[in-house]
Amino acid sequence: MKKSIHSSITLILFTLFLTGCQSGYEEEQGKIYYKWIHGGNWTMEKTLLKDADAVSFTTIKNDLNIHLGKDSNHVFKDAFLLEYVDADTFKQVDGYYWRDKNGVYLLQFCSTDCRIKSADPETFIVFKGYNWAKDRNNIYFELKKLREANTDSFVVIDKDWGKDNGFYYYHELKLDSLNYDSAEVVSPYYIKDKKNVFFRNKLVKGANPKTFTADGVGSFGHDDKNMFDWEKNKGPITKQYRRTYLAE
**pLDDT of residue 41 exceeding 90:** no
Backbone φ and ψ of 14, nearest 5°: -65, -40
Q: Is 14 helix (H, G, I), strand (E, B) or coil?
A: helix
Residue 179: per-residue pLDDT: 98
The domain locations on the chain are 184-245
Instruction: Give the CA dihedral 93, 99, 105, 108, nearest 10 degrees.
Output: -40
d(CA 199, CA 192): 9
**pLDDT of residue 217 exceeding 90:** no
Confidence of residue 38 (pLDDT cuts 50, 70, 90): confident
d(CA 146, CA 20): 45
CB neighbour class for 181 (10 Å; exposed up to 12, middle 13-18, buried from 19): exposed
Strands 168-170 and 161-163: antiparallel
**Mean per-residue pLDDT over the chain, rounded:** 92
Confidence of residue 218 (pLDDT cuts 50, 70, 90): confident
The full 3-state SS of 182-227, as one line of letters, equals CCEECCCCEEECCCCEEECCEECCCCCCCCCEEECCCCEEECCCEE
**pLDDT of residue 148 exceeding 70:** yes
pLDDT, tens only, 60-77: 999 999 999 999 999 999
d(CA 91, CA 82): 13
